[in-house]
Structure 1
Amino acid sequence: MVVLPHSEQQKLSGILQLMADSIGAETISLRDLLALVGEQGMLLFCILLTVPFLLPVSIPGISTPFGLLIVFIGVGVLLNKGPILPARLMERRFAAEQIKIILRKGASLLTRVDHVIQPRLLLLSTPRVHRCNGVVLILVAVLLMLPFGAIPFTNTLPAWVILLICIGMLQRDGVFVALGYLLAIVTLAWFSFLGIGLVVAGQSISDNLW
């Protein structure tokens, strides 16, 4: 497995494209993907885990394992230490061609924002804010794991929150962190609306049965 060279100035889209070009086997595990990330670290790995939820590419049954890994990464961010990722999840394998498609589509997606990413609003790049980011990552990752995939935006909104916050932390761009927080509020409002709707529907069914 080839480990990508580290470059602080390297575009995120370019990193994903290099990763796609470096995959040669028929299948690849999440541990292999993390090895490809190399020195770029857990935040980039977290970005990779969100990409399938942002694109019209379907890999069945990934919301729970990917969401759980993001929870562990969020805990690591909160505690300011490297997360311990479950070995069983990290050994899960996927078809290499499927992963290549996702990485290349993800690179295309990030190409649209690469040119606007820059260090700014550094007040949102402090350790205290990073701990808050960890809490938000944990919360939205749990929402990502909920079995609501058939309902619009239930995967997409949490994934965008995670993507924006991780980009902001990785590139010290406070604007992206702030956008992530704003979208987190929208996401919580959407899930609250869904939760209230489910309670009302359940109550209506119960009333009709009795």
Structure 2
Amino acid sequence: MSASEVIAHLLARMDKPFFTVRELMALLGEQGLLMLCALLTLPFLFPVSIPGVSTVFGLAILLIAVAISVGRLPWMPAFVADRQLDAAKLKPVLQRGVAVLRKMDRWLRPQRMRALTGGAMDNLNGLVIMFAAVLLMLPLSFVPFSNTLPGVAILLLALGTSQRDGLLVLGGYLMTLGTVVYFGALGWAAWKTGAHFLG
């Protein structure tokens, strides 16, 4: 089942006004942790505000990535797993996400660049997702693209790893690197500006 089909199937089963991360994980079932990572990035790809999402979803992705890296089921604290999410705000984001994922499905090619997926590479990919999740959680929501860039990186890494498409994984690596460069440039510019005014 493709990523867009998984999310569409999830939407069809969302029949309550509020959902938790724990319930979303249960609804995804055997589709796995990587698909949940992909799902949790969708709110960061569109200009839709869902209060408290950045920290909660970022931490959930981080803990899932840790589990992927060590090959174990994830543990989540209650304030993450049981955080109430407004379905009325979440559903439109997921619906837009389905449209994006359907376009991505056309480009997915399982077994492409196989050296970047499977075995130990999945553990490494989990570590990179973990790092990108830390970038996602940084308190920089006032900075343009500060959530979008690491969100796209995680989406590419999660889909690439789950679908065994190494080209998507490579795209996730490059997007993570681009995010680091972007944040570094912002930090350097802020330091130079501060030094100018204080110097």
User: Shorter chain as normaliser: what TM range?
Assistant: over 0.9
CA displacement, residues 62-116 of structure 1 (integer Å, 9 cap, x when unaligned)? 1111111111111112212222122221100112221211211110110111122
Of the three residues 82, 89, 100, the one matched with 2:91 is: 100
Residues 43 and 166 in structure 1, CA contact (< 8 A), matched pair in contact too: yes
Question: How many angstroms does 1:58 deviate by?
Answer: 1.4
Provide the residue aligned with 2:60 in structure 1: 69
Residues 19 and 103 in structure 1, CA contact (< 8 A), matched pair in contact too: no
Q: What is the letter of the counterpart of residue 64 of structure 2?
A: I
Provide the residue aligned with 2:142 in structure 1: 150
Of the three residues 11, 31, 51, the one matched with 1:20 is: 11
Question: How many angstroms does 1:204 deviate by?
Answer: 3.1
Provide the residue aligned with 2:159 in structure 1: 167
Residues 69 and 124 in structure 2, CA contact (< 8 A), matched pair in contact too: yes
Q: What is the letter of the counterpart of residue 151 of structure 1?
A: V
Question: How many angstroms does 1:199 deviate by?
Answer: 2.0
Provide the residue aligned with 1:33 in structure 2: 24
Question: How many angstroms does 1:145 deviate by?
Answer: 0.8
User: 1:95 & 1:126 partners in 2: Cα distance?
Assistant: 36
Provide the residue aligned with 1:80 in structure 2: 71
CA displacement, residues 30-54 of structure 1 (integer Å, 9 cap, x when unaligned)? 1111111100111111111100001
Provide the residue aligned with 1:6 in structure 2: none
Residues 6 and 31 in structure 2, CA contact (< 8 A), matched pair in contact too: no
Of the three residues 101, 120, 133, the one matched with 1:141 is: 133
Classify the secondary structure of the residue corresponding to 2:65: helix
User: 2:198 & 2:119 partners in 1: Cα distance?
Assistant: 49
Paired residues in the alignment total: 198
Provide the residue aligned with 1:204 in structure 2: 196
Q: What is the letter of the counterpart of residue 94 of structure 1?
A: L
Provide the residue aligned with 1:180 in structure 2: 172
Structure 2 unmatched ranges of 5 or more: none
Structure 1 unmatched ranges of 5 or more: 1-9
User: 1:17 & 1:106 partners in 2: Cα distance?
Assistant: 9
Question: How many angstroms does 1:56 deviate by?
Answer: 2.3
User: 1:183 & 1:26 partners in 2: Cα distance?
Assistant: 34
Q: Name the % identity.
A: 39
Provide the residue aligned with 1:190 in structure 2: 182
Question: How many angstroms does 1:200 deviate by?
Answer: 2.1
Residues 20 and 99 in structure 1, CA contact (< 8 A), matched pair in contact too: no
User: 2:20 & 2:177 partners in 1: Cα distance?
Assistant: 33
Question: Considering only aligned residues, what root-mean-square deviation do their CA atoms show, in Å?
Answer: 1.3
Q: Which has the larger radius of gyration?
A: 1
Task: Normalising by structure 2, report the TM-score.
Answer: 0.94
Q: What is the letter of the counterpart of residue 44 of structure 1?
A: M
Provide the residue aligned with 2:120 in structure 1: 128
Residues 71 and 138 in structure 1, CA contact (< 8 A), matched pair in contact too: yes
Classify the secondary structure of the residue corresponding to 1:190: helix
User: 1:147 & 1:205 partners in 2: Cα distance?
Assistant: 24
